[in-house]
Structure 1
């Protein structure tokens, strides 16, 4: 796939996933940056949490997409974070679980 098409797909997926995550975590904070690398299947997210002075960085070493009944699902693995306890919580409660995404997430493929 050519570079400009890949960049366009990643930008569209980043916008869709950022909007989705911001709806999901609005009581906790806001996603400020999100980078998707479709070739490497990795994610990097910057979050400003309410009550925290420093930005939180989260990375997923791998992600997988699947489709079931016309719905798109995301599974992330190998999560690291700039705060050790958050990385531990995300690996325990988020990593390996399938999360239904909005239709625009098809661009993550």
Structure 2
């Protein structure tokens, strides 16, 4: 799931406040609008967006994945690398955090 850096950072704070600290996130500061990529399980999103400020990347899309050791900028890097059993963020947790930080529920899409 691609989000702006601003929304991504708010989501990460919200997830941490709700006890979810192990979400792998890729940071791309080089794009014209810096963005973050949250890794959700394949098939967990059915539409082109998941809520305000999001773009779901499905078949035909690609995300460049940095080397595991790349955890600092200035370029593409893991803002939060995957850990053990946490290779993806649960889609429900992501949506709940997105709704809390944007104030828009899934019915507002």
Answer whether TM exceeds 0.5 for this pair. no
Greater Rg by CA: 1
Structure with higher strand content: 1
TM-score, normalising length: structure 1: 0.31
* TM-score of the pair, normalised by structure 2: 0.31
User: Which of 1 and 2 has higher RCO (CA within 8 Å, sep 6+)?
Assistant: 2
